[in-house]
Structures are given as structure tokens and as C-alpha cells.
Structure 1
Amino acid sequence: MAVIDSGAAVGGEARKSPLQALTLAALALPGLLLPAQAEAENDEAAFEYSYYQEGFRNQYQFGNQAQPIRVDSLNGSSTIRLADRIKLGFDYIQDTWSGATPITTVPAGMMIEGLSGASAHVNTGSNALVDANFNPLQEGYDSNGNLVYRSSAADKQMMHMLTSASPETRKQGNVRLGYVWDEAELNLNGGVSSERDYDSSFIGANGRWDLNQKLTSLNAGLSYTDSSVYAQKMVSAQGYIDYGAVGAQSGTAVMGDREDWSGSLGVTQVLNKHALLSANLGFTRSSGYLSNPYKASTFVFKDPNQAHTVYPDDVYVAEIISALENRPAERNQFNLDLKYVQYVQPLDAALHLDYRFFQDDWAIAAHTFSAAWEQPLGGGWTVTPKVRYYTQDAADFYQPVYYFNQAKPATANGGIDFSRLPVSHFSSDHRLSGYGALSGGLLFSKTFAKGITFDAGFEYYKHGGGMKLGGGGEDSYADFDYYLVNAGFKVNLEAVSLRGNDEHAHHHHAHQHHDSVPAGVMFGHMMQQGKFMVGYRYMYGRQAGGMLQGSRTVGDSTIAANACGGETCATVPAYMNMHMHMLNIMYAPTDWLNLMVMPQFMDMNMALRPFDAASAGTDLFKHATGGVGDTGLYAMFKLFDAAEHQINTTLGVSAPTGDYRIALVPGGHNHGNNASAGSAGYIHYGMQLGSGTWDFLPSLTYTGSRDAWSWGAQVGGTVRMQDANSAGYALGDMMQSSVWGGYQLLDWLSATLRGVYTVQGTIRGGFNAAHPTDAPVDHASNYGGRYWDVGFGLNATVPGGDLAGNHFAFEWLQPVSDDHNGYQLERESALFASWGLAF
């Protein structure tokens, strides 16, 4: 945190007030957010990747369980100045998660071991022997050989039933528009969030009013969110989970709508030039479907008046039933946030102390205490250790298991008559229980003089009922932990622009042909010695329409008989979408050598249809994957550079950082991602995130220009340097050649036309473990081919102002000819978009 300077403004900008400087220091820390989202102080672009991984939960005597929850997240944001007082901001957030999570709780004596490596599950729909206190009983014999009924500690041990989900991706986009006055600021924001089973849209406004020579600030905010749920019923649970308490249903899905209104009022006060204090009051009212459609509660019914002659009088036959949870349809939430920031001048450091109190009308009261120490180390480095403690009371309707001293109140069709239960709301979600949590972490930050900041952080979290303040938390069966790692960078566009405006203006004419390289072409030009470049590249590709054998359209009967390696196919692809996000970090140590690193983030989704699904109205079998892809490392060499002609070559390798062993989850709730016809094992080759092999990626590129015209050609390829990955296969080698031409429409805008020819080899080998075989995409022979495409593009470079030098490019690639290996979906279209900034 910089010392608050009361001197003159630097670089022609108005100096920051003490309030602004201290607030920015507070916002620099992850997890310490003001209630109203703050705009970036400068024009900037930022990217962050994070990885969340839960630990295994205690399953006691049941050893088999699936992998815990993991989440890959990508966050990109940008704030730009539209005018002197107007700023526009964008955010894109993408989360892909998979793994096992608890859906209900029950004593171990009421669980049965899962089959084929699956987790143990509730023996729902059957009867259990219990004593008068609902303890599970097991038959045994005493030393004299007499039949007895015992309740062991192991059988009474509470435990979670886990169910697994195949990968699912959530995408969210936000936009913000702000206006700044001398003593005030107003921001409007809105956005949408979408995933397979949950969609929401939201709008909001927040403002700030400065008083007392900007030493005091009042802030207020208001937001509205409208959400809808369309969740597939849990596949593994159908038949023994009762959905009768849920209102709206449609066949295999649970439907619901909810609304959330939120408001906040706060004040921030600079106490002196080294300290700041803020307080904020917030209120949220939620209404509608507030339950979790993937959480259930287990009911145990014991009729105290039952009559039987089989068991002793103190042994009862109880019926075990699970029901989808039913939370109240309204929730009012209040929170108080207090923050204190103290600059410690002798150490040039900042101490952040935070407290939050939360209470709702579900009887949950929670306290959060957190502290962080922001310590500059010199050379642009900063380290920030932080610690956080959280504690909450349980919701008044929460219970791990619901015991009823009565016979099951049955409906005419054998379900539960919920109107005759002594409870109207119920949930066994451990997040509504009483518990405490302790977390700690480290954040490292490095700021470079060229306006770039790199961040990397790690956090470890421990959740435990025994950690609840004052005691009385949930038992240890619900304890778990997780770790979170993140890395990212920010580019201060204003700092880069101030450094590069003059140089950019000087070189713009000489290098305008560089702006005419199509967005889908990489390694189109080289940078000068000492230059950096940061960039982002996006690619979207879609396959849909008819199925082709080679270049010939074929029908369902031909596919069923021939496309599945001697077996009869049961399903056929309906569509597939692929999204790739790539970061480009580039440095030129010399004029003839550029070095690059390009990490990728992938997400894909596919639907398979049963044959004749259109006439039968059968639902599609849908899959999704997402996460980190393979990482490219490249060196680009200048071979020739004249006034109108340039030639360079690139040698690269692709590191196998992407997951290539992603599996479908049979029988899990899948959050709507049903396994193909119930099949299990590795998901299709084309839905894996990486190759699993080290790959060699060479290319040779020529570019030329004269007056307003430009042209170029490139040939490149991918050579798999291993015969197979550890899953038993290797993707096919690939060769691609491009020829293009461009014309400068304006000084800052050009158009391109490109022809592309691609040859992709078939997959070598095949999965060495279980995988579906009932669709063409499950077979290695149905990959690769020969393809012709034509691309149409626009390139733009900002010629002046604060964003001078920012380069944007777009290209639409239209397939002209497909000649597939085996049986594959027709390619429909592809889109490339890129942003780059050199300085």
C-alpha cells in the first residue's frame, strides 16, 4: 500500500483522496469486497484462473466413494473509459465442476455398500430393525447360541450418502456502466448466469457520495435477481426418493422460480492519513423455490403400536424413506459488515481487519472474523497472509435425519402424505447445520514497471462442527476440507498507453500490414527487442446437422449398423459445441527471437439422440466438460525481413496439462448430464480437454504488404511425440495450411479473406479402461479427416487515446467441404476473436 501523498498530481491526473487510496488498498485483497462492487480505478484488463478441490469425506466402514468436488474457474474482466467521466466494465465468469457431494444423511446401519466401486447409499424403500430410540439393530447370537438384537457404535454412526455428478459448466456475463462526478459516483450493472439446470438474470445500481473533503463517503446499492430452476431428478435416486413435497414438476424434472431483492447502506470514514473504517448494512429478501433440487432428507417411520410375533417387543420394524428437501418459500437476511484498514508506516504495510454479522429468519446467526497483512517486499513484490474464522447456528428446520414415531402416512399411490407430517419444512443439507470453519492463505503479487501485475494465491479451509463458537455444532461426520489455488494477471491499460502512445504513432504506418493477419492465424508477426505483449484468444466451433460418412450424408440405419465397430449403435450425435479461451504472454529478448507461453481453458458440450428421436420425442443425452487445456510453449525466429516481405518460423511444444481421462458418472444425479443410455467410463475422445501427450507444433509463416494491400501464407502442424497417453490412445497428427489477403479499409480497420485446408489423422489406439461403445463418438476410427474452409475477418487497432495500440480481430470460418474418417457430424461454423496489446 502506497503512502498517502498530499502533494501535487502526477502525470496530469487529479490526485487520489485519502479515502480512495485506503479503499484501493482494501480492495487489493482477495475476499475483502465492499458490498457494492467497485469499479477499477484505472482502465484495465484482468484474467484469473482458480482451482478448487475438496478432500475425501469420512465414509467409515464403507470404503468406496467417488472423487470429491473439484471446480475449475476462469474470470476475465475489463474496464475502459468511454469519456472523461464515463466508464464501461465487462466481466466473464466460467465455472466447471464435477465430483461427489452429499445429498442426505443417515446412520451407517441404514446404508448398504455401493456396487462396482460406487459410494454407499441409503437402503431406502426397505425396512430396518430399530430399538425404541431408533438405533439400528442387527441380528446376532450370544455365547449360548441365542438369537439377539444388538446396536453397535458403528451402526449408529451418522454419515453422508454421496452422489456424483459428471462435469457441468456455468457461464456468467456482467456489464457495468459508471458515471463519476467531483463528489459522487453512480454505477448501473446487469448480467445473466446460465447453466444446464439454473438460469438467472440480474440488474442493480449503486452509488457513492463523498463528504467532508472526501474523508467521508456514503454508499448505497440496490439489486434484483430473477432465477429459474429446471433440474433433472436424480437418476440414481428415482424410485426411492419421494418428490411429493415439490410443487412444480415435469416428468423427470423439478421446476421452480425465485426472486431476490437486495439493498445496502454504508459509510466509509478516513480516521487519519493512515487509517480507514467502514460499516455497511445489507438486507436481502428471497422468495419462491429456495430449496436445493439435489438435496434430500431421510425419514424413518416407526409405528409404536405395531403388532408382530416375529421379533421381541423392544424390536421395531421401521420404514426408511427419502424425500427431496423442502425449505421455506421466503427468507429475509440481514448483515452488518465492519472493516478497518491501518497503514503501518515503519513497515510500509497495511493491516486489514473485518467482521461480519449475519442473521436470517431461518434462525441462522453467523459471525465472520478475518484479518490480512499486506506487506510490500521491494522490487514490485507484495505478500499477503490472511486468516478467516466463520461460525453459524443451525436453521430451525435442519435435522440430519427425521425420526417419526408413527406409521408412514401414505397417499393412494404409496407416496408420503406430507400434510400429515409434524414438520412442514425439512432439510439435511449440512450447510444449514451449526458449524465453524477456519481458513488461511497466502497471496503473492508482482507488479512490473510496464503496467502488468501477476498474482498467485493459495488458501486452505477446514469445516467442522466442533469448531462452532459456543459448541453445539454438527457431529464430525460432516467435517471436510478443501484447498483453493489461483493465478492471474492485470494489465493497466492507461499505464501502458502513457508509455506507448508516441511510439505507437511513430510505427503504426510502417507496421500496418501486421493488423491484417486474420484472427485465426497465430504467429503472424514478430515484436522488436525488449517488447512485451499480452493477449487473449477465443475460439468457438460447432458441429451439427447431418451425419457424414466421408463426405456423404448417411441415415440412421446405416449408422446403427456400421458406425460402432461391429456393435449396433444406440445413439448418434445431435450437436457438439467447443469453446476455447487462450491467454498469450509474449516477450522479445532480441529482434530475431520471440518467446511465448499460451495456457488454455476449454469447455465443450454435446448431445446424443436415440435413433428416430424426432418422431418419438425422446430427450437428448447431454454431456459437458470444462477446465484447463494443454499449455503451449513457443519460440518464434525471424528468417527474413524486408520492406514488403517477412518470413518467420515457430517451434513449439504442447504440454499435456489438460485432463484426458474425464469419465461419465452412471447413476449419479449429474445435474442434467445423463450418461449415454446409462453407460459409464471415459467420456468421448472429442470431449477430453487435452491430448495427454507431449506434442511438437512447428509452423512457417510468410507475410507481405504494399500500400493498402496485404497477404500471407502459413503452414503448420501438430506431431504427437508419444505413441499413446496413459489412457491408451494418441490423437491424430495434424497439418494445416492457410493463404490470405487483406485490405486496409481505414487507417485503423482492415478486412481479410482466408482459405484453409486441414488434414487430421485418426486416433491411434483406444481407451484402455471402461468407456461407452454405443455411439459413433465412442470409437477412435470416427475421428479426423480432410477439410476445406473459407474465413472472413475484420481487424481493428485503436489509433489514439487512452486505449491506443489495443488490437482486436474477428474471423468467421465457414466450412466448404468435409471428408471425414468414418462417421461424424457435419461441421457447421467456427468463430475466432482476439485481443492483443504490445508495449
Structure 2
Amino acid sequence: MKDCKKKRLLRRASSSTVTQALTLAAMALPGLLLQPDVTQADDEVGFQYGHYQESRRQLYTVPNNANPIEAESLLGHARISLTDRIKFAFNYVQDTWSGATPVTTSPLVNRGNRSVRAATSTGRIVTVGASPYMTGQIKLDKNFTPLRYGDNGGPLIGPDERVVHVLSTASPETRKQGDFKLGYEWDESALDIGGGLSVENDYESHFGNVNTRWDFNQKLTTLNIGASYTDSATAAIIDHDASPYITNIALASLIDMPYADQIEQQGAMRILHGDRSDWSVNLGLSQVLTKSSLFETSFGFTHSSGYLENPYKVTTIVFVDPKQTSAQLTGNVKAMLEQRPDERNQFNFSTRFVQHISPLDAALHLGYRYYHDDWDINAHTFDAEWVQPWGHSWTITPRIRYYSQTAANFYSPYLLSKQAYSTSLFDETTGRVTTTYFDKNLLPANFSSDQRLSGYGALSGGVTVVKQLSKAISLEAGFEYYIHAGSLKLDGSGEGSYSDFNAFMANAELNVNLSALDQPLPDSGHEHHHHGAHHQHHAVSPAGVMFDHMMNEPGAYMLGYRYMYSRQAGDMLHGDRAVNDLAIVNNGCSKGAYRCRLTPTYMDMHMHMLDIMYAPTDWLNLMLMPQFMDMAMNLRQLDGAPEAPAGAHVHSGTGHATGGIGDTGLYALVKLFDRPMHHLHVTFGLSAPTGDVDIKLRRTHKQDEGYIHYGMQLGSGTWDFKPSLTYTGHLDAWSWGAQANATVRMEDNNDSGFAFGDIFQATWWGGYQLNRWLSTSLRGSYTEQGAVSGQFYPVVGVVDNKFVSDVNPKAGPMDYPSSYGGRFWDLGLGLNVTIPDGQFAGNRFAVEWLQPVSTELNGYQLDREGGLSATWYLAF
């Protein structure tokens, strides 16, 4: 086995996976975990998609129809050498979470028999009837054990100490994070400086880090020292429906509860603010023991201070007045925002051993990590993986991991407080009733029922398969199954089975080694190609034009990344004219049953797309174009709008977000005419409906759950035919082109009941080459799109024992099929950079801003503000 291959097998111990990324997104602050040194790796560009899905929670006999938590994640990363000594790396991570998650834990007897609401935050509403009540009353015996009675006031059954999660459903929420690292290498040392930003609707973090590396003993010994700092701010919107259910918000001014000075009132909204800071240091040592073995160890410390709570987690507290004289005591069940300590010190120690197994040409990785903090959480992690090459180009890596932790010293499923929740006294002098509430000093200083702070164990196993297409290109797919259970804790004394759940994680990744683009695999039969040589001519097209060129050389590949952004904002239009609120109220929605109450203030769309092209012949190119979408919309109340009906969608002043896989394009480009100055080709494409079209918003009742607006679904839901005809030409420094393309829906409706309108577009452009590497372009385009046909299938459910066939009231024009599509004229201005030589030769970058010139909309829609396209391409 060659030494370079052996080093790759040993180095996989430091590689990052989507499993780790998803776990860290849910459980850790961005930037706190110091990244492994990137300056020793080859230059690389990679794209990764991951999916995380939990199983339904155990609610005993309580019905549970809530979809569990799931997340879709997109990761893009690059490492490049600016010079022999200066290295640069950056990462972009985006994940969208949705589904039901535990918001607290409650006695199982605290449940009802009809559907009621219990909101906990914007985008999150507890569904009682599919969960226990978050507030209410229960009966207890003299030993303060909850008692179970039959349904509908039936006879006493007996003591019941079982507890169960109270679930809350969430509309989709998106997090975006970008970070960078700049490094300088000396002969036997290196310095990396990095930083980044992580943004959510209700949370923002800024972080920076520095890492140094020293090599000793002929580079057989490596010492790493690093430090990082993270500054975070929470601005969590507490839904007005939640306030009556959260005691330490509702009574903050009466009993001087925590958070009183952190809550800002903005109209009907209450916003909980909190700041925190985190300092981290890390010391690591790596030692090559033999030519076939490696040992690594590290120690880390993190100090956190400030607002360390989760603003969407509450703790159930049962107040029981011990002075009661009846045989069964009455307990008042209340919910309070959790209260954690204001500081946390965390220590971790890890070690890893990697051994190459020569007879099998494989590597064994064994790892152990110990964690301790001053919240009394102690955790052990054991993991092992086997890296096995297979044939000339495959690598299979099975892995197993075990984790166990003790509970935080302030964790409890729920609290029992032996005091009256409130006492009412009648003042004969004034004739008024005075209410005195509980003594907060009789409650613990800190409490939480967040399951992540409980004692539990977890066992996971998975496999990763890597296919090396060439020295430069590799494809990776992985799957991991995760089991979380209290009984898996090392001593078996973790939380009860009510907290158990399973999950799976799957990922797919494409990596391009920029340092090996011209190197085929041994015995692969592929010819040597010079990257950047496969464009049919030197002219480049605007970034916003797709299918603009073909590759001429059989066996050539091209990899591209495309980002597109568009924004609607400003005036609401009817056709091409601005309209006022009253016109929208009276005419924007169907007359009779509904009148408009809400209207958008903006809508942003972001699209990330991979362009993967292969040329089997000189006249045919094949393309695969997967895409990842995310969209955000904000709504406002219309002036003069009617009062919202009970259970209606009332997210005024807050935003909606969706994100995930969009539709996937499959295309064939066929050359029709090819001369030195003129080129003509046709594209035949199919768009596969891989994007969701059944995304729903949470409503105030589970039965009221309804589809999010048509324009915020992630795909079309239909198979679509997408043909285009493209002409390009060039002469000296000038280039030009024109394209006609269409999107034809091949189905009358999708699985949700509707179909987007057909699209026709004509575009034309001209460009001028300013020098060897820079050109500019000017483009005009006309687009016509039809309105949505059909409509969402009615949501069917039962509310208060009554059958309802459509409980998805339409709140504004965005909920009506007629308010989509239109006719648009646009003007685009672009810049294109093509690197002609050097180590980055063949890389092409382009950017274009598309400015609306004329807009005529169907129905009532927001005006268009413009769009941005940015692309990167590399042919080899």
C-alpha cells in the first residue's frame, strides 16, 4: 500500500460528517468546537446534504398525531491555497427544522379529553388532546402521589406516577451559518485565524477563533493550541396565546419573577431578550507511533455566562397546599420558563488511536471522550470505525458509537411545591378580594425538564460508502441509526421509557480535490484532460442564464454551483397598479366566506443548485441539477380588516420560513450547429418533483393545521417538461446570445391538489471581454407565468366533536391560486471572471443583478425588487 493512501486512511479520524453537523446544530453553540487544522489538507471543494428524522414519542395511551422533529441540512465548504504558505477555508451551513418536540414533562394524569390550545412560543403550540395539559388540576394522595381517575370523571383507579412529554409543534425554522479560516504555514508551524456568524429568526451568534500548530520530532509529533470566543443574543417571541399558560411571565410584575426585566412588549408581542458569551480553549497532541499507527489526545475548557436557558422550554410545577384536609389533595399544575444557572464551566478530554491493518489494507479507529461540567453532568463517549478500501475506488466505513451522561443537578421531570399556588382573602373594609400568589423562595433557584439535561444513554451505528470517481472527484453516502434511552445509561438509572426515542441520519456528499483535477484513477481508462479546456469558446454568458454552453470533448466533466436570490417587497399591486389596504380587504380574497385580513410585507427566496455535467460524446451533454431552497415571508395586519375568526391564522408581525430539497432537474443538451463564431443547441429537460408541496403551518388547534402559502412550498409537485433553445456567438472581444425556454406542467395537479402555471421566457444578451480574465454583460428578458390551477385539498378534521371539512381559513391574497404569476420585463447587468492560468486556471465566477423594468401581476401580489444570480464553474 502506498504511503499517501495509508495517510488518507489514518486521517479520516479527523473528518467531519453531516451527523456531527446536525448534532452540533441542535446541542452546541457555533464556533465553540475548534475545527481540525485544515492547512495540511489538499485544496478541495465539497457539497453535502443531510437529513435527520426522529421517531414519534411515547405518550402511553395519549393519541399522538404530531409529526416528529426532522431537519434538512446543506453544507458547502472549500479549502484553497492562496500561496504555498497562505491557506484559506470557508464553510456555509444551512438547516431547516420542523415538527413536534417536547416542551416540558408533566404527570400523565394531567390530560384532557377534548382539544384545547396551549401556546408556548411563536411557531410552537402545544396540542393538548395529543398530549397532557401544560396547566390544569390533578388529584394526589396524602403521599403527594398523583391519582388517576376514569375518563370523563370516572371512578378512582389508583396512584399513577408516570410522567410524559408535552409536545409542541413548530412551523419550519431556518438557521444559516457562515465561517472562514485564514492560515499561514511556516516550515514546522502554522497559525490559523477564523470567525463566523450564525443567524436564526430568534437567535444570532458571532464567533472568532485562533489556532496554532507546532511540528516536532521530524513532524511525527504535532501540538495544537487554540482559543475561541462566541457572543450570542436571543430575541425569542413569546406568542400572546402563551402568556396565560406561563406563570413566570403572566405574574412577573406581581411576584418579581426572573425575566421581568428581559421581556420587551411590542404591541401584542412579548420578546424575551438574553445575551450570553462563551470562551473556549483547547490543547491537542498528535503522535505518529509507527508508520502504521497514530495517537491523538486533546483537552478543552469552555466558560459560558449570561442567558443559558432555552426560551422555548418550560418546567411543570405542581403546587399542592399541604393544609388541605380532604382525602385527596388538589394540585394546581402550572408551567414556568426554565431557570438555569448563569454560568457553566465545561471540561472535556478525548483520545483517539488509529491503526493501519496491512493484511486487509484497512484502518481501525478507536476513540474515547470524557466530559464534565459544574452542572454535575458527566459523560462518556466510546466510538469505533473500520475504514475498508474495496477494489480500486470504493471505501466502506462501518461505525458504532456509545454515549452515556448523568443528569444536571437541577434537572427534574417536574417539580412538586408544597405550598398553595394562590390564596384569596376578602377584605370586609374595602369589599375587595385580594389574591396572594406563591412564595418564589420556596422554589429551587434553578430548574429544568429539558430532556437533554437528563440522565440517559445513546447507541448509534452506521456506515459510510465512498466512491472515488477519479483522483479529483469522490461521492459519499452515509446512514446512521440512533437509539436514545434512559436504560442505556452506564448504570441503567436514566430517565424512564417515556423519554426514549429513535432517530436516523442520512447524508450525501460530493467532493472535488482541486489539487488532483488532471489525475485519473489507476487503471480507470480515462484520458488525461486539462481542466478548463472544454468550453466550446471563450465567451461567457450571464450568471442568470442556464444551459448556455456545451462541452465538446467526450469524457469531460463540469461541476458548477449556482446561487439565486429574489425579493418581493414594497407596494401591493393589482396588475401593474399599487392598491391600498381596503382594496385588498374587499377584493383580494373570495367574497362571501372570507375577506382578507393579512398581507405580505416581503418575501425572500434563496436557491442553491449544483450543476453536474458530463459529455458522453461531442454532441451530447447530460446534466443533473439538484437544488436546495429556502424562503421567508413576513405578514402584517391590513387596515380595516375584519376580526380574525376563532382558530384562524394570525401570524401578523412575524415571519414564516421553509427550507429543504427542491425539485431535481435532469437534462440532455444536444448540439445542432457548431461553427467557430456561431453555436446552437437544444435542451430537453425534466424536473422531478422532489420538493415538498405539503408543508404546513402550525395553527391554534392541531386540527386547524393548514398548508403554508403556495409560493412557499419547496417544489412544484408535478413532473415538468423544460425545453430550451440557445444560440451563442462571438467575434473578437464581443459575445452575444439568445435563449427561449419554457416550463410545461405535465400533470393537472400535484398530491396537494394544485399545479403551478406554465412558464415561458425569452432572453437575450451581449457581452464584452475587458481583458483576459474579466468580461461584462447586459441582458434583457421577458417572462410570462400562468396562475396556479386547482387549490389545496381541504384539510379535514374534528374540532370540539364536530366534523369540519375545511378548517384552513384563507387569510390573504397569498392563500389564493389566482394571485400567482404574471408578465415581467427585466434588465440584467453582470460581471464574469475566468481565471486563464495558474493553479486556479479554468475556474469561472459570474454574478448578475436582474432589475425589474415592468411588472404586471395576476391578482394581488407584492411588487418585485429584483434578483441576484452568482455561479462558479470548473470543467475538467
Q: TM-score, normalised by structure 1?
A: 0.92
Q: Determine the C-alpha separation between the residues in 1 that align with 2:180 and 2:466.
A: 27
Taking a change above 3 Å as real, the CA distance of residues 588 and 502 of structure 1, as seen in their structure-2 partners, is closer
Q: 1:777 aligns with which of 799, 805, 814?
A: 814
Matched, 1:360 2:365: no
Q: Determine the C-alpha separation between the residues in 2 that align with 1:139 and 1:492.
A: 66
Alpha-carbon deviation of 1:125?
4.5
Taking a change above 3 Å as real, the CA distance of residues 129 and 255 of structure 1, as seen in their structure-2 partners, is same
| Structure-to-structure mapping, 1:593-632, within 5 angstroms | 593-612=620-639, 620-632=653-665
Q: 1:298 aligns with which of 311, 316, 327?
A: 316
Bigger mean CA offset, 806-815 vs 762-771: 762-771
CA contact (8 A) 1:113 1:121 kept: no
Alpha-carbon deviation of 1:130?
1.1
What CA deviation, in whole Å up to 9, does each residue of 1:572-608 have, x standing for no partner?
1100000000011110000110001100100000011
Alpha-carbon deviation of 1:613?
10
Taking a change above 3 Å as real, the CA distance of residues 699 and 113 of structure 1, as seen in their structure-2 partners, is farther
Q: 1:207 aligns with which of 197, 208, 212?
A: 212
Taking a change above 3 Å as real, the CA distance of residues 118 and 405 of structure 1, as seen in their structure-2 partners, is closer
Alpha-carbon deviation of 1:417?
5.0
Report the counterpart of residue 648 of structure 2 in structure 1.
none
| Structure-to-structure mapping, 1:635-784, within 5 angstroms | 635-667=668-700, 680-770=705-795, 771-784=808-821
Q: 2:11 aligns with which of 9, 24, 28?
A: 24
| Structure-to-structure mapping, 1:141-540, within 5 angstroms | 149-151=156-158, 153=160, 156-234=161-239, 237-242=242-247, 243=249, 244=252, 245-247=257-259, 248-251=262-265, 252-307=270-325, 313-408=326-421, 417=438, 419-496=440-517, 503=530, 511-513=537-539, 515=540, 517-528=541-552, 529-540=554-565
Report the counterpart of residue 801 of structure 1 in structure 2.
838
1:604 counterpart SS class: strand
Instruction: State the AA in 2 paired with 1:621.
Output: T
CA contact (8 A) 1:127 1:318 kept: yes
Taking a change above 3 Å as real, the CA distance of residues 805 and 505 of structure 1, as seen in their structure-2 partners, is closer
CA contact (8 A) 2:420 2:438 kept: no
Alpha-carbon deviation of 1:136?
2.7
What CA deviation, in whole Å up to 9, does each residue of 1:41-67 have, x standing for no partner?
111110000000000011111113310
1:110 counterpart SS class: coil
Alpha-carbon deviation of 1:802?
1.3
2:814 counterpart SS class: helix
Instruction: State the AA in 1 paired with 2:452.
Output: R
Alpha-carbon deviation of 1:447?
1.1
Taking a change above 3 Å as real, the CA distance of residues 619 and 559 of structure 1, as seen in their structure-2 partners, is closer
Q: Determine the C-alpha separation between the residues in 2 that align with 1:443 and 1:378.
A: 16
Alpha-carbon deviation of 1:306?
1.9
Report the counterpart of residue 147 of structure 2 in structure 1.
137
Matched, 1:812 2:852: no
Report the counterpart of residue 790 of structure 1 in structure 2.
827
Taking a change above 3 Å as real, the CA distance of residues 562 and 149 of structure 1, as seen in their structure-2 partners, is same
Q: Determine the C-alpha separation between the residues in 1 that align with 2:532 and 2:241.
A: 64
Matched, 1:541 2:566: yes
What CA deviation, in whole Å up to 9, does each residue of 1:549-583 have, x standing for no partner?
10011111111100112131101110000000001
1:151 counterpart SS class: strand
CA contact (8 A) 2:348 2:370 kept: yes
Matched, 1:573 2:583: no
Instruction: Point out where structure 1 has 5 or more consecutive residues left out of the alignment.
Output: 6-15, 308-312, 669-674
Instruction: State the AA in 2 paired with 1:175.
Output: F
| Structure-to-structure mapping, 1:86-165, within 5 angstroms | 86-113=86-113, 115=115, 120-138=130-148, 149-151=156-158, 153=160, 156-165=161-170
Bigger mean CA offset, 125-134 vs 381-390: 125-134
Q: Determine the C-alpha separation between the residues in 1 that align with 2:34 and 2:360.
A: 29
CA contact (8 A) 1:397 1:425 kept: yes
Taking a change above 3 Å as real, the CA distance of residues 266 and 785 of structure 1, as seen in their structure-2 partners, is same
Q: Determine the C-alpha separation between the residues in 1 that align with 2:194 and 2:361.
A: 36
Report the counterpart of residue 615 of structure 2 in structure 1.
588
Taking a change above 3 Å as real, the CA distance of residues 72 and 418 of structure 1, as seen in their structure-2 partners, is farther
CA contact (8 A) 1:119 1:162 kept: no
What CA deviation, in whole Å up to 9, does each residue of 1:723-761 have, x standing for no partner?
001111000000001010000011111111000000001
Taking a change above 3 Å as real, the CA distance of residues 505 and 716 of structure 1, as seen in their structure-2 partners, is closer
2:585 counterpart SS class: helix
Instruction: State the AA in 1 paired with 2:145.
Output: N
What CA deviation, in whole Å up to 9, does each residue of 1:430-483 have, x standing for no partner?
111110000000000011225111110000000000010012110000000100
What CA deviation, in whole Å up to 9, does each residue of 1:517-545 have, x standing for no partner?
11111111110211001110000000000
Instruction: State the AA in 1 paired with 2:584.
Output: I
CA contact (8 A) 2:585 2:640 kept: no
Alpha-carbon deviation of 1:422?
3.8
1:813 counterpart SS class: strand
Q: Determine the C-alpha separation between the residues in 1 that align with 2:719 and 2:224.
A: 53
Instruction: State the AA in 1 paired with 2:465.
Output: F
Instruction: State the AA in 2 paired with 1:638.
Output: K
Taking a change above 3 Å as real, the CA distance of residues 326 and 56 of structure 1, as seen in their structure-2 partners, is same
Taking a change above 3 Å as real, the CA distance of residues 415 and 628 of structure 1, as seen in their structure-2 partners, is farther
Report the counterpart of residue 837 of structure 1 in structure 2.
874
Figure out how many residues of one structure are paired with residues of the other and give that number.
801
Report the counterpart of residue 12 of structure 1 in structure 2.
none
Task: Give % identity.
Answer: 52
What CA deviation, in whole Å up to 9, does each residue of 1:618-644 have, x standing for no partner?
961311100000000000100000111
CA contact (8 A) 2:71 2:97 kept: yes
CA contact (8 A) 1:498 1:802 kept: no
Root-mean-square deviation (CA, aligned residues, Å) is 2.5
Alpha-carbon deviation of 1:115?
2.0
Q: Determine the C-alpha separation between the residues in 2 that align with 1:502 and 1:147.
A: 80
Q: Determine the C-alpha separation between the residues in 2 that align with 1:591 and 1:808.
A: 24
Taking a change above 3 Å as real, the CA distance of residues 635 and 414 of structure 1, as seen in their structure-2 partners, is farther
What CA deviation, in whole Å up to 9, does each residue of 1:407-426 have, x standing for no partner?
22679996965632241100
1:420 counterpart SS class: helix
Q: Determine the C-alpha separation between the residues in 1 that align with 2:445 and 2:114.
A: 32
1:636 counterpart SS class: strand
Q: Determine the C-alpha separation between the residues in 2 that align with 1:506 and 1:300.
A: 73
2:722 counterpart SS class: strand
What CA deviation, in whole Å up to 9, does each residue of 1:333-391 have, x standing for no partner?
00000000000011110000000000000010000000000000012100000000000
Taking a change above 3 Å as real, the CA distance of residues 636 and 22 of structure 1, as seen in their structure-2 partners, is closer
Instruction: State the AA in 2 paired with 1:754.
Output: R
1:230 counterpart SS class: strand
Q: Determine the C-alpha separation between the residues in 1 that align with 2:372 and 2:660.
A: 36
Instruction: Point out where structure 2 has 5 or more consecutive residues left out of the alignment.
Output: 22-32, 117-126, 425-432, 521-526, 642-650, 796-807
Instruction: State the AA in 1 paired with 2:697.
Output: L
2:63 counterpart SS class: coil
Alpha-carbon deviation of 1:763?
0.7
Taking a change above 3 Å as real, the CA distance of residues 531 and 505 of structure 1, as seen in their structure-2 partners, is closer
Alpha-carbon deviation of 1:774?
1.4
Alpha-carbon deviation of 1:803?
1.1
Report the counterpart of residue 30 of structure 2 in structure 1.
none
Instruction: State the AA in 1 paired with 2:710.
Output: Y
Taking a change above 3 Å as real, the CA distance of residues 606 and 430 of structure 1, as seen in their structure-2 partners, is same
CA contact (8 A) 1:497 1:802 kept: no
Q: Determine the C-alpha separation between the residues in 2 that align with 1:378 and 1:240.
A: 61
